[in-house]
Structure 1
Amino acid sequence: MGARLRVFLTREQDKTLFKLRTADVPQKVKDRAEVIRLSSQGWYVEKIATYFN
């Protein structure tokens, strides 16, 4: 198994990524923003991958 990847965000960075969920941007951007937020909340890569299918 590879090394675990964990992202740490400031409160402001988290807010910016959260706002992308309702912004007029491609779905790919929304999904990537959510992946980063979930990683910062402690989700493992495998769990995030399962969540996004």
Structure 2
Amino acid sequence: MPSAAFIEQGDAAAGANDIAGCQRVARLIRRDGVVMPSPLMSLAALDLKYLEAAR
């Protein structure tokens, strides 16, 4: 289970439509040992330039 701090950071980044922030939080959550669905792990690993271009 991700920590409350990670959840708050993720919510703030998502609310601000901050793609880089969302990716950063997802990576932190994964490094903390939380099991994540494969599609979310793939998005977290994707180069930021592709995520920004998809906007």
TM-score, structure 2 normalization: 0.43
Structure whose CA Rg is larger:
1
TM-score, structure 1 normalization: 0.44
Higher relative contact order (CA 8 A, sep 6+): 1
Which has the larger share of helix?
Answer: 2
